[in-house]
Chain A
Amino acid sequence: MSLIFYVLAALSVAGALAAVLLKNTVHCALALTVAFAGLALLFLQLDAQFAGFAQILVYIGAVAILVVFAILLTRGSETPKDGVYSRNWPVGLVIAACVFAVLGWAVLHSMSALPQGTSAVPVVTVLDIGNALMGRYVLPLEIVALLLTAALIGAVIVAMHEKERPK
């Protein structure tokens, strides 16, 4: 656990807390982006280049943008007068605590499942990930790729026939 880890962890947690506690919804979305960035940097700190960059590309580049778009296009970014806090926030807190407890329990117990004595982290390069995807996991990859391509082409086709050309 280095100093960098603590800085990044603090950044992520602060971002996540701000996303929950801030009043303005757009500020919340931007704070969530900070949390995403913190997570991406954590991945990078663990030498997981691919996961880190994919996190930035997908979460900051796409999901965050989708969130702010949704906020702007639906309700407007104006803050309601009585605040954004729900009345039954204690229930949410309990649920969040339960989820956190389960995750924490799972993570802590997975320590014993690891083979003992191999403290050195295996180096997984992007090349290894590519080889694994193209070798052992090629079938799931192809299925996902086919699904996504079909969705993409389907979306284009749905958009393509919006009006008949007047003759």
Chain B
Amino acid sequence: MISNADQIFVLLQHWLIGFLPPVLRPVAAVLLSAVGIIAVFPTLFALAVWMERKGLARMQNRRGPNRVGPFGLLQPIADGIKSLTKEDIVPLSADAVVHFMAPVVLVVVVFMGIAVLPIGRNMTLVNMDSGLLFFFAMGASTELSVFMAGWSSRNKYSLLGAMRGVAQMISYEVPLLMSSVAVVMITGSLSLDKIVAAQNQYTWGLPHWYIFTPWGLAAFVLFAVAATAETNRSPFDLPEGESELVAGYFTEYSGFKFALFFLGEYVGMLSISGLGTTLFLGGWSAPFSILGFVPSWIWFFAKVMLSICVFIWVRGTLPRMRQDQLMNFAWKFVLPLTLLNLFVAALWRILGDGWQRWVVCSAILLLTYGLMARIGMYREHIGPRKYRYAE
């Protein structure tokens, strides 16, 4: 059941390439797909910024942007033009070359990470055997850009922000990787296409997404926590905590370089949401087999934007953590749980098909999480929750 609407971009690409001599076709195909990615994701970035400003405003009893275009929808364009026309200020004592390179490195690396994501059926720009590894390799490279920006600015706040940022990203990269390894263990492949294909099966019209398994749910929650920290989003936004560090590592950036950092951050958010979607939410597969007629790429982008909404919701809800809490949380809480989850995923694989694995894996996870909650409450001297109403 592969309709034309599903493959519209693939067909479009083939049609456009058809005009070229055969020698140029492979190059043109790659270029076209790259142009597609470079066009689509900044558009989504603009949409995400608009959603974030509107959503946060609603949560804070404000109206948000409502002057440019209907519902303020054209606000990102106005912002873009504004940042283009602004003066580009480089501090006198800054390291000019590194200062210039930092946003470039960030944006390049972030866009390269997107290249391996299966955006739709037959719509992976680079279908690698080890796509997941490539994605994480690119993700690890963004830390360098954060450091370059913070160090080259010759500003205490920038440097502090960069140190915080790098420390945080290194710490949360471990649980991020570990929670994804569970998926690799079950699928038996590092290829993101194969991971999606493994989830694109239906029983009684319901999908085989990994989030609907005990280990998958646990891994997804841990992955989401680590991804939030990895993208420096609230409540883990210490590297750019505006009440403490002005804007963290990009304090000394203005004009379009600032916009590039902004772009890099949001596209990073989109790409890690895309990875989470691919690993746990079935990628481009439909949530019910009846809905299979809807084009696959719509499902992918719908899931990504839904994740962005959750990011915004969390940002509007939770207060910022303290630095020591952040580190303790990563190494003493999230990391052991990902290790346990690896064990559970291995059990899931060993027990084979059947109902036993559901019982055993759920029991292990529920018992651990329940016990940890109890012990934590006992240690912190928190009794059962009490509700106080207006007295």
Taking beta carbons and an 8 Å cutoff, which residues of A are in contact with B? 24, 26-27, 30, 33, 49-50, 53-54, 56-57, 60-62, 64-65, 68-69, 72, 77, 125-127, 149, 152, 155-156, 159-160, 165
In the complex the two chains form, is A57's CB within 8 Å of B335's CB? Answer: no
Q: Which 8 A-B pairs have the closest CB atoms?
A: A61-B140, A56-B137, A53-B133, A57-B137, A126-B129, A126-B130, A53-B137, A49-B130
On chain B, which size bracket covers the interface?
Answer: 20 to 34
Find the B residue at minimum CB distance from A128: B129
A76 to chain B, nearest CB (A): 11
Total A-B contacts with CB atoms under 8 angstroms apart: 75
Further 7 A-B residue pairs, CB within 8 A, beyond A61-B173, A72-B159:
A26-B151, A49-B130, A49-B133, A50-B130, A65-B170, A155-B331, A156-B336
Check A30/B98 contact, CB under 8 A, given A60-B141, A65-B147, A72-B151.
yes
Chain A positions within 8 Å of B189 at CB level: 127
The 0/1 profile, CB within 8 Å of A marked 1, for residues 132-143 of chain B is: 011011111101
Q: Is B385 an interface residue (CB 8 A)?
A: no
In the complex the two chains form, is A56's CB within 8 Å of B141's CB? Answer: yes
Contact of B148 among A30, A50, A77 (CB under 8 A): A30
B169 to chain A, nearest CB (A): 9
In the complex the two chains form, is B143's CB within 8 Å of A160's CB? Answer: no
Interface centre among B137, B138, B159 (most CB of A within 10 A): B137
Q: SS class of chain A's interface: helix, strand, loop or mixed?
A: helix
Q: Is B128 an interface residue (CB 8 A)?
A: yes
Q: Is B259 an interface residue (CB 8 A)?
A: no
Chain B positions within 8 Å of A64 at CB level: 144
The 0/1 profile, CB within 8 Å of A marked 1, for residues 297-337 of chain B is: 00000000000000000000000000000000001100110
Chain B positions within 8 Å of A69 at CB level: 163, 166
Taking beta carbons and an 8 Å cutoff, which residues of B are in contact with A? 95, 98, 128-130, 133-134, 136-141, 143-144, 147-148, 151, 159, 163, 166, 170, 173, 189-190, 331-332, 335-336, 339, 379
Check A60/B128 contact, CB under 8 A, given A50-B133, A65-B170, A156-B331.
no
In the complex the two chains form, is A159's CB within 8 Å of B331's CB? Answer: yes
A57 and B98 alpha carbons, distance in the complex (Å): 21
In the complex the two chains form, is B140's CB within 8 Å of A60's CB? Answer: yes
30 sample A-B contacts, Cβ–Cβ < 8 Å, listed by A number: A26-B98, A26-B151, A27-B98, A30-B98, A30-B148, A33-B144, A49-B130, A49-B133, A53-B134, A53-B136, A54-B137, A56-B140, A56-B141, A57-B140, A60-B137, A61-B139, A61-B140, A61-B141, A62-B140, A64-B144, A68-B151, A126-B129, A126-B190, A149-B339, A152-B335, A156-B331, A156-B332, A156-B335, A159-B331, A159-B332
A72 and B137 alpha carbons, distance in the complex (Å): 24
